[in-house]
Amino acid sequence: MKKIIEKISLAVILFLVFVFTASADFSFEKWQYEKELKTPAGGLTEVTIDNEIFAKASLGLADVRIVDDKNQETPYKLVTPKGSLSKTEYAPKLINNSVAEGKYASVILDLGAGGLLINSLTIQTASSNFQRNVTIYGSDNQTDWQILKASGYIYDYTDEKAKVKTQNTTVAFNDSTFRFLKLEVAEVDRKPILINSVVVNRYLQEELREFKLSPSFEVAQAEKEKTTRLIVDLGQSGIPTSRLVLEAGGENFNRSLLVYASNDKNSTAWRQVGSGYLFRYDTPKFKGENSSVKISETTERYLKVVIDNQDNAPLNFAKITALATYRDLVFQAQAGSSYRLFYGNPGAKAPQYDLEKYFQYLDLNTVQNATLSAQKNNAQFIPAPAPVKPFSERYATLLSVALVTMGAILLLLVYKFLKK
């Protein structure tokens, strides 16, 4: 009896070893697509996701896997490059904050000392619904003023009813070390902007790692609603789009707009992802424009832009540009190993690796770049069997005949019963 128990225990142990060993291997048959990763010699490695992966991977890239030449899954971290930003703020003393009626609101800013490197400022104001040109001067003695920015502008559009607000009161200029700054905010129709306070900044920023798309678009005029509707086709779903640039012809216009997203061009239930204003002015009192609208990042294929024309003639749009943020995978490559990237498994869940916990302690300055091959079909992929239809659907005709027959029999029985 003891020997039998020992043999059974050994068999169980061997079975468990086999199960756990097998589970460590990657299940190739579940992933439809693959790309080869061309990695450097080894070390911390980064690869940028391309549009083929965006198109075929599941939402949020949950099904992406990196597999080495031993068929082992390699941990990775999905990152969104934001571009580095360094910002230093100064709160200057405000001197002679006043209004020259019919001309401008002005204020002198005292930074307290010269030599501070600055390149932008933000005006804090309680005013709303304005567009104003701003001139910025610099001086070390409040006597000799030099122009730092001659054609800056600020604006605010607020529609409380529609809950739409767009504002930009930051003006950038070339690097300066002047102790004093003087702002002149042009007055329009005797409606000066009230300057509550000003924050002076020093920005050091790398450009965001965005890529541009030039999507096709259709234009339709809804005369009854007095709107222009643009249907923008990104060509595929999956691309993480976060901004649109709408290039319109003409001058001196100001239009509010709403942006919606859907994967179905003919949908009746579009999801709102953004709002904003398009404007362009070229007048003696104000010059400026805005053609960009930020949206909540979306991966739908179609974007619908609804522009409120009110009683104005529709704008003509020559070009639309969509901007999306890159996604990168960072992993530890081993020297002498080769890697493949797999995707296209709708049933896969996002992986959870220990790398997520200690990623913040890695030296990303040492990261090397890998490249991706063209997309290939995974030769080991086995399509999931089609779902079995319920009996009622597979034999719908037979079921109908059976129900009719049973009904007839019941009627016959009732008839015989009543006849008695």
Encode pLDDT of 47-85 as tens digits: 999 999 999 999 889 999 999 999 999 999 999 876 656
pLDDT of residue 18: 32
Please give the average per-residue pLDDT across 9-37, as a whole number.
60
With a CB cutoff of 8 Å and minimum separation 6, the contacts of 284 are none
Q: pLDDT tens-digit profile of 286-313?
A: 888 899 999 999 999 999 999 999 999 9
CB of 30 within 8 A of CB of 381?
yes
Residue 402 gets the label, from left (phi > 0), alpha (psi -120 to 50) or beta, of alpha
Percentage of the chain surpassing pLDDT 90? 61
pLDDT tens column, 127-176: 999 989 999 999 999 999 999 999 899 999 888 877 778 889 999 998 89
Decide: helix, strand or coil at residue 11: helix
The reply to whether 85-205 and 210-325 are identical in fold is: yes
Lowest mean pLDDT among 42-56, 177-191, 236-250, 367-381: 177-191
Which tens digit of pLDDT belongs to each residue from 189-206? 778 888 999 999 988 765
Tokens encoding 401 = 């005949």
Q: What is the pTM of this model?
A: 0.69
Amino acid at residue number 154: I
Higher pLDDT, 309 or 392: 309
pLDDT at position 16 is: 34
Nearest CA-CA partner of 297 in 320, 321, 275, 273: 273
Q: Which residue has the higher pLDDT, 270 or 160?
A: 270
- Percent of the chain whose predicted confidence (pLDDT) is above 70: 88
pLDDT given at position 107: 95
Query: Average pLDDT over the chain, rounded to whole?
Result: 86
Could you tell me which of 408, 228, 387, 222 has the C-alpha nearest to residue 320?
228
Give the 3-state secondary structure of residue 106: strand
Q: Is the pLDDT of residue 208 over 90?
A: no
* Residue 16 burial (CB count, 10 A): 10
pLDDT surpasses 50 at 184: yes
pLDDT at 1: 45
Whose CA is closest to 129, among 176, 80, 162, 85? 162
φ and ψ at residue 357, rounded to 5 degrees: -75, -35
pLDDT of 22 higher than 50? no
Residue range 338-384, pLDDT digits in tens: 999 999 999 999 999 999 999 988 888 889 999 999 999 999 999 98
CATH fold of the domain at 210-325: Jelly Rolls (2.60.120)
CB atoms within 10 A of CB 20: 9
What Å distances lie between residue 23 and 16, 45, 340, 403, CA to CA?
Answer: 11, 26, 19, 49
Architecture of the domain whose range is 85-205: Sandwich (2.60)
332: which strand partners?
44
Instruction: Give the pLDDT confidence score for residue 318 in this predicted structure.
Output: 94
Is the pLDDT reported for residue 34 higher than 90?
yes
Domain layout of the chain by residue ranges: 24-80+327-405, 85-205, 210-325
